Structure 1
Amino acid sequence: MKYPSHPPRAFTLIELLTVIAIIGILAGLVIGSIGAARKKAHQVRCISNLRQIGIAILAYTDEHKGILPGPTYVGISASYKNNSTAIYQLAAQLGPYMSYPDATTLQSGVTVTVPQLHCPSRPLNLTAEDPDEPATFIAQCNMKPLSNEGRPFGNAPVGSTPERKPIPFTELEAHGGASQVWSLMEVDQQVTWSSVSDTWKPKLPLSPAHGGRRTTLYFDARVALLNKLPPKI
């Protein structure tokens, strides 16, 4: 006995809209979780990068009779070349301790980038028109009176500011020791210290990159995420 066949029932408009809404919600959840995971990965890499920089600072200091790297600029560039400014760039000073070439051995026009000195949450887009990336980190420049204006890495000569030599590692003891003195800190436009130059400040992020916290390296090579700017010590 044959039964009359019925065509499959089509979705109603309400059912279609419900399915579309559910798909949209699920897509939003997936995209949100991917974004959160990416931000967390950037934070973990940034912390790991700074630890490597901290170890390189200690290695440099040990090989230079207890004197810290420097003199250096306050704004830390991740790249260096064989030119007159290389001697004042922390990347060039630490490069050989991280398996990067000595600046003096580079051929003309060759640029070396030390990725550990650039936060992975920020794109590094160097072009012929703008070959210098904005600083990701600043060097310690806010200590209470030292013979070199509160800058343990010393100071590169800029304009009327004279060159100042870096301090001995042991001088950090007068400020609580290496574990209490930060050496590099992630920088953004909310850092209002006068040392953050107006020439490169507009290129910085408007706010801290890692959920309102700044990745900060200390002279004992430990890394912390700070909610507030560190005070003078």
Structure 2
Amino acid sequence: MKIPKYRSPHPGFTLVELLTVIAIIGILAMLVIATVGRVRQQANRVTCASNLRQIGIAMQLYMNDRKDGRFPGPLYRNQKSSTEGGDGQLASPVRLLPYMSGQIVERNGIKYALLLECPAWKKVIGADDKLSDFSSYYVNANAEKHDGEKCDLFGYKTDGTNPLTLQDLASPSRTWALVDLDTGIKPGATYSIDQIAHGNTRNYLFADGHVAASKTKL
């Protein structure tokens, strides 16, 4: 008597079907990763813009507290988040630090102003102990005055040039004050990151306090 072969009522997947499923899962995973990456990049850009707006508010408060109404300075053109860079830095106790209450953190004995730390910039640098070696923002060294002269908006610490006032500017709403720093802004600078922190877009804080993003260098 010949015993019939057992056939499962639920046949398994063929190799082709398995490979097809794996390929589909891989494609879906790549789409999810790409979407998450774009969302994270957008979130970092929004946080950076929010930080710049708060810096703009601190800057305005600083100017209101001074009889001459000048911008903070004179400053160095590259701005660090470390509070130990002297009065040539916005994070200095005699510049904007008093107006950044609750936005200070200490790492390895060094204090940092969080508003001067773009999250995308921090991600590029990596380790926290390297933050003091890099500058996060760059100030405008070519602000245009009413007479057409172009000079440092915040003055220049190296030669003692004084900062300007809002009234000195030809157009405060078109004059940027701070920008995300990379070597595209300052070629060859060893204290800046090589890539644009936000992919292909930089955030700008303008002299009148508003913030805008631009894919081109202003």
Asked if 1:90 is matched to 2:90, the reply is: yes
Determine the C-alpha separation between the residues in 1 that align with 2:133 and 2:54. 21
Asked if 1:68 is matched to 2:71, the reply is: yes
- Partner of residue 214 from structure 1, selected from 202, 206, 210: 202
Give the equivalent residue in structure 2 for 1:198.
189
Asked if 1:164 is matched to 2:172, the reply is: no
Aligned AA for 2:53?
Answer: R
Asked if 1:80 is matched to 2:83, the reply is: yes
Asked if 1:187 is matched to 2:190, the reply is: no
How far the C-alpha of 1:122 sits from its partner, in A, is 2.1
- Unpaired runs of at least 5, structure 2: none
The question of whether the paired residues in 2 share the 8 Å contact of 1:139 and 1:183 is answered with yes
Aligned sequence identity (%) = 34
The question of whether the paired residues in 1 share the 8 Å contact of 2:103 and 2:114 is answered with no
The question of whether the paired residues in 2 share the 8 Å contact of 1:61 and 1:169 is answered with no
- Unpaired runs of at least 5, structure 1: none
How far the C-alpha of 1:181 sits from its partner, in A, is 1.1
How far the C-alpha of 1:131 sits from its partner, in A, is 6.1
TM-score for the superposition, normalised by structure 1: 0.78
Deviations 1:103-157 (A, max 9, x none): xxx9xx8422112112211225332xx56231121011123479x9711211112
DSSP 3-state at the match of 2:143: coil
- Partner of residue 24 from structure 2, selected from 12, 19, 22: 22
Deviations 1:3-57 (A, max 9, x none): x963231211001101101111111111111111100101110111100000000
The question of whether the paired residues in 2 share the 8 Å contact of 1:69 and 1:166 is answered with yes
Q: Count residues in correspondence.
A: 204
How far the C-alpha of 1:80 sits from its partner, in A, is 1.0
DSSP 3-state at the match of 2:177: strand
Q: Over the residues paired in the alignment, what is the CA RMSD in angstroms?
A: 2.7
TM-score for the superposition, normalised by structure 2: 0.83
> Larger strand proportion, structure 1 or 2?
2
The question of whether the paired residues in 2 share the 8 Å contact of 1:181 and 1:218 is answered with yes
DSSP 3-state at the match of 1:224: strand
Determine the C-alpha separation between the residues in 1 that align with 2:23 and 2:165. 64
Aligned AA for 2:37?
Answer: G
- Structure-2 change in CA distance of 1:131 and 1:78 (3 Å): closer
- Structure-2 change in CA distance of 1:184 and 1:131 (3 Å): closer
